[in-house]
Amino acid sequence: MVTRDEAWTLLCAWTPSERLRIHALGVARVMEDLARRQGQDPASFALAGLLHDADYDQWPEEHPHRIVAWLNEHGEPEVARAVAAHAAERTGSHPETLLERALVASDEVTGFVMACALVRPQRTEGLEPRSIRKKMKTPAFAAGVNRDELLEGFRRLGELIGGTEDEHFQRVVDVLHAHRGELGL
């Protein structure tokens, strides 16, 4: 199994953008939390979150094929499938397992919630799902976040674990708040 330290070293080597590394850390924390709540392996879920965009900075046209190959070569086929599924339009691999659906459901929302927090003086403190939903209605805000993909990720994850969109939003806020120092929030 690839350790968190090995994954972080690879992420730093392949990802010069601090912003993208912080995003990866946020997704890893959200994934780790979900794994614990669902009785799954937090290390595998965190690994998927940490490395899901590792090849994007240097090789955007090849994303996620390089990191998927690397994960397979290093004995992480389940994580590789999850990373492939988070870019289904490029890989043709659609999210089916809890790990795969969790990554799809965690990626866009983590970026969006972090963007919501960064425009608030109190950051994640007191950030509520209704405020996030309001920001979702503003297309120019965090324009790179695909709202349909975000909501579809929630729906597909909910098929496996239940819960409402607002509960998922709140969980993400809570996780990011708990790790706000590490994430620059």
Q: Are 67 and 55 in contact (CB under 8 A)?
A: yes
Indicate yes or no: pTM above 0.95. yes
The fold of 4-183 is Hypothetical protein af1432 (1.10.3210)
The predicted structure's pLDDT at residue 47: 98
Cis amide prior to 16 (ω within 30 degrees) = no
The predicted structure's pLDDT at residue 24: 98
pLDDT digits (tens, 9 = 90+) for 107-147: 999 999 999 999 999 999 999 999 999 999 999 999 999 99
- CA 104 – CA 82 distance, rounded (Å): 8
The predicted structure's pLDDT at residue 37: 97
Residue numbers of the chain with a pLDDT score lower than 70: none
